[in-house]
Amino acid sequence: MRGLGELEAKVMDVLWSADEPLRVREVLERLTTDRPLAYTTVMTVLDNLHGKGYAQRNKTGRAYEYTAASSREEAGARLLREVLYSSGEAKQVLLHFAETATPEESAILRRALRKGKPS
């Protein structure tokens, strides 16, 4: 399974919040972390996110500009599918989730099934 690590999730939060493509330096400047990060660390994380399919990049001049490859919701759904199918028992996992869902989760699922999409 190719989920997100802690720093990857923070970098993706920056990309999801951005209105335009960002260079590594811009991502670094927008990150809020407990400790200072090196430019090369952020560059490596962005490269890894690109490799995992979470970020897209386009070369402009000598540098890459990065954007999120999908919305936060689409990425979450992709991760959920990876978890379901990595179990080898997707049907059983999904049924167990439905049986143990909170009232709020159940209501969301019912609305989505009635409308054919989440509200």
Domain 6-68 architecture: Orthogonal Bundle (1.10)
Question: Is pLDDT of 117 > 70?
Answer: no
Greater confidence, 3 or 77? 77
pTM across the whole model: 0.80
In this structure, are residues 16 and 68 in contact, taking their beta carbons and an 8 Å threshold? Answer: yes
Domain positions in the chain = 6-68, 72-115
| 3-state DSSP assignment of residue 85 | helix
Rounded to 5 degrees, φ, ψ at 44 are -65, -40
Q: What is the pLDDT of residue 30?
A: 97
pLDDT digits (tens, 9 = 90+) for 2-45: 678 999 999 999 999 999 999 999 999 999 988 999 999 999 99
For the residues of 36-55, what is the DSSP string, one character each?
---HHHHHHHHHHHHHHTSE
pLDDT digits (tens, 9 = 90+) for 94-114: 899 989 999 999 999 899 889
